[in-house]
Amino acid sequence: MTARLTLAAVTIAFVAVGLLRPDSRLTAQAPHAPATPAVPANLAVLEAHLADVRMLTDRGENAEAYFSPDGTHLIYQSSPDPVSCDQMYVMKIDGTERRRVSNGEGRTTCGFFTPDARQITYASTHGKAAACPERPSMARGYVWPIFDGYDIYKANADGTGAVALTKTPGYDAEATIGPSGRIVFTSVRDGDMEIYSMAADGSDVKRLTNLPGPDGGAFYSPDGKRIVFRGRHPEANSAELNDYLALLKDGLWRPTSTELYIMNADGSQLRQITNNGAANFAPFWTPDGTRVIFSSNLHNVKGRNFDLFLIAADGSGLEQVTHHPDFDGFPMFSPDGTKLLFASNRDQKQRGDTNLFIARWKP
């Protein structure tokens, strides 16, 4: 979950340099962007892995939807109108029984169910202020906020009883949970955007990455032994690294391209699995743990056409999954592997809408 901003604005960053989003995992499309190319007449043939594609939301900015362990519910973030902050919602996988599970204050991002489905985690700024956090000026060029005040909370599945698991200054977010209940997340507590893990109650915090540059959006493999994430690691003493660190001190990030990495759950044996210079983000494991599905603009590096791709855990066998001429991102397989969930600008009613879609997966 890369740091999260409002969904629609994020793609402006991608249009500018091709990236992903800092405070969660990314999304949407830039206002005033060129008209979307025509949808291919044979889209259903091109998207051969997807059947019975259904839209679950119908307006606003919706993204980062993730299945409950039993595959019956989804947790996701949504901003129904352009002026509101993202809040956390839960609904059934058919789009019914929607309910807000965050308290309506601050900005929230990156919701996830615990392995027993009795609780949820998410990041929120409401502990610092009830109002939406202010956006930075563009005085230093196109930058994105790494919102100060984000902490990770755990609550009952209905949203009650929320307690903070982190209380460090700056940014703690992008939390996901492994099968053992251990949490992996992104934090700037040591002066860089690094990946950490912690016990289910917030104790036993361990730093897992130690490379300069923005790392985040991490997910455990189905067996909990590996972690996949997105990152970028500028050369030591480079202008890019110096600019990145200077901005980060002020809670800002200048969007850029990112690659995908896999490491063991303890941070060892780090290896890069993409190397295409595009904005690769939102990686998620296939249920058998052999491949990773992710979003990338690798066929449109200067533009906003993000598609979903599959790649083997060793970096081989790249395969394109979606072919719509607009944004597709934030993919997640259902626990049994029969469904794929993703966010998309396809079939939008109003320019800039990002909606959630579910499809039957055809291997």
The yes-or-no verdict on residue 206 having pLDDT over 50 is yes
The yes-or-no verdict on residue 112 having pLDDT over 70 is yes
How far is Cα 51 from Cα 70, in angstroms, rounded to an integer?
Answer: 21
pLDDT value of position 3: 39
The yes-or-no verdict on residue 31 having pLDDT over 50 is no
**H or E segment to which residue 35 belongs:** none
How far is Cα 92 from Cα 201, in angstroms, rounded to an integer?
Answer: 27
How far is Cα 111 from Cα 90, in angstroms, rounded to an integer?
Answer: 9
Inter-CA distances, 128 with 89, 169, 175, Å: 21, 10, 19
How far the first Cα of the chain sits from its last, in Å, is 26
Q: Which residue has the higher pLDDT, 4 or 56?
A: 56
Long-range contacts of 180-187 (CB under 8 A, 24+ apart): 180/115, 180/224, 181/114, 181/115, 182/220, 182/224, 182/265, 183/121, 183/152, 184/208, 184/218, 184/219, 184/220, 184/227, 185/152, 185/218, 186/1, 186/2, 186/3, 186/215, 186/216, 186/217, 186/218
The number of helix segments (H) and strand segments (E) in the chain equals 3, 28
Closest CA to 118 of 73, 182, 61: 73
pLDDT value of position 304: 79
The yes-or-no verdict on residue 190 having pLDDT over 60 is yes
pLDDT above 90 coverage of the chain, percent: 79
Closest CA to 118 of 159, 83, 84: 159
Nearest-5° angle of CA 190, CA 23, CA 295? Answer: 115
Q: Which amino acid is at 274?
A: T
pLDDT value of position 14: 40
pLDDT tens-place string over residues 137-173 = 888 888 888 888 999 999 999 999 999 999 999 999 9
Dihedral angle computed from the Cα positions of residues 298, 299, 304 and 309, in that order, rounded to the nearest 10 degrees: -60
Q: Which amino acid is at 77?
A: Q
Residue matched to tokens 């610092």: 128
Query: What is the SS3 assignment for 341?
Result: strand
Maximum average pLDDT range among 6-15, 131-140, 235-244: 235-244
How far is Cα 111 from Cα 119, in angstroms, rounded to an integer?
Answer: 11
pLDDT value of position 82: 66
Report residue 314 as tokens. Answer: 């060793």
In the predicted model, what is the mean pLDDT of residues 176-189?
Answer: 98
Average pLDDT across the chain, whole number:
89
**By CB neighbour count within 10 A (0-12 exposed, 13-18 middle, 19+ buried), where does 73 fall?**
middle
pTM: 0.91
pLDDT tens-place string over residues 208-262 = 999 999 999 999 999 999 999 999 999 999 999 999 999 999 999 988 899 999 9
The yes-or-no verdict on residue 181 having pLDDT over 50 is yes
pLDDT tens-place string over residues 289-343 = 999 999 999 998 877 799 999 999 999 999 999 999 999 999 999 999 999 999 9
Q: What is the DSSP letter of 168?
A: -
pLDDT tens-place string over residues 87-97 = 999 999 999 99
pLDDT value of position 351: 85
pLDDT value of position 215: 97
Q: What is the DSSP letter of 249?
A: H
Q: Are 307 and 296 in contact (CB under 8 A)?
A: yes
How far is Cα 98 from Cα 278, in angstroms, rounded to an integer?
Answer: 35
Q: How confident is the model at residue 11 (pLDDT cuts 50, 70, 90)?
A: very low
pLDDT value of position 130: 94
Q: Which amino acid is at 133?
A: P
